[in-house]
Every structure is written in C-alpha cells, then in structure tokens.
Amino acid sequence: MEKEKTDKKDHILDVAERVFAELGYDGASTRMISGEAGVNMAMLNYYFGSKEGVFLAIFDRRITTFQTVLLSIGNDETMNSWEKLDKYLDSYIDKVVTNNCFHIMLNREISKSKKNELTDQITDIMMKNVKIFQDIIAEGIKKGDFNKDADQQLLVATIFGTKNYIVNTPHISSKVIGYDVLDADNQDKLLKPRFKTYMKKLLKAYLQN
C-alpha cells in the first residue's frame, strides 16, 4: 500500500480526461468514468464533489505547469522576435499534440455558444495562451521585425485554429494528412516536425517585410 490517495485521484482524472474527450462532457456518464477507472461511482463525488468538479479538477492539474513555459519564452530578453516565435511554436506544438485529450475536451466545451460558468473559466484559461502569443507578435511589429500591416488578431485564429483542426478533429485530419494523427509514433516522428516546419514557414511568409 505504497501509493497514496493522490495517485488514485490522478488515475481517475486520467480516465475521466480520456472519456470526456471521447464522448463530450454530457455524453460521458459518471458511471462510465468510474467503471473504466475501476473505482466505485461514489468516489467521484467523494473526491471531487460532483461531475463538474471532476471536469474542473482536470483543468487545475493541467494549466498550472502549462503556461509557465510559454511565458518564460515571451519574457526572454536574449531572443529576437523571430527566435521567440520559433521557440513558442516548438513548445506549444509539442505540448498540445501530446496532451490532446485535454485540449479536445477544452475546445468542445468552449464551442457552446450559450455562456455559463464553465465557458467563462475556459475562456480565461485559453486567453492566457493567446495573450503570450499576441505579445510576441506585437513586439515584433513594434520593433520592425514583422510586417506592420499584418493582422495579428486573425493570425491568432490561424495558429490556434490550425492546431485545433489537426488535434481536435482527428478523423478528418488523419484523412487529410495521410496517417493516423492519434498514433503516438506518428505524432513524434512525422506530425510534430512537419507541423513545426509548416507553421514557421507560413508565419514567415506572412510576417516578413
């Protein structure tokens, strides 16, 4: 009995994250999550209070470490704008392609047009990532590194939108790209490097003077 309760809670969140991504928040039942996690149904409420509590707990676990890396890039004084952009893309793409369950879950819930407490929270989380990217672009334009006529707001839509398309609609993107984007091996050996190269090239073409 070495493992503490934190491990069990983490295990539940692992499973819940996957099931939520597979079936959506409403489509995933507490019975299914507890069943696949191999724990009693009541444990979900015991640990996390409610179904929504489980959902929010998945958040807390992810977001804490996620943004510090990106932030450190944005604040690094030793890099110029192009280098920051490169680093940002490298880190971001590595992160989101691997932890795709979480981001699929995130995007599906935020795509509900009716606002609620959950969508507000998700909005806040996502906007932080956006803000870091926007600052890099804005700084680059200000310094004259990037084309000043660039639409930096729609550029946000392009970088995050392209990522979402590949990661969040794997049935589609696998057909488009030519291999299974959900396969871990394909992700590391094929998708990530290709995606990075493409994205840098695209942004360079658009942003350069």
Partner DNA sequence: TTAAATTAATCAATCGTTTGATTAATTTTG
Partner DNA sequence: CAAAATTAATCAAACGATTGATTAATTTAA
∠ CA 38-40-43 to the nearest 5 degrees? 115
Contact call for residues 12 and 44 (beta carbons, < 8 A):
yes
Burial label, 114 (beta-carbon count in 10 A; 0-12, 13-18, 19+): exposed
Which residues have CB under 8 Å from 163's CB, separation 6+?
92, 93, 96
Q: Does 24 bind a copy of itself (CB under 8 A)?
A: yes
- What number of chain residues touch a copy of itself (CB under 8 A)? 55
Alpha carbon distance 125, 105 (integer Å) = 13
| Residue ranges in 129-188 that form contacts with a copy of itself under rule CB under 8 A | 130, 134, 151, 153-154, 156-158, 160-166, 168-173, 175-178, 182
Give residues in contact with DNA (CB under 7 A): 1, 5, 8, 28-32, 39-46, 49-52
The residue among 31 and 148 lying less far from DNA, judged by its C-beta, is: 31
Residues that bind a copy of itself (CB under 8 A): 21-27, 101, 104, 107-108, 110-115, 119, 123, 126-127, 130, 134, 151, 153-154, 156-158, 160-166, 168-173, 175-178, 182, 194-195, 197-198, 201-202, 205-206
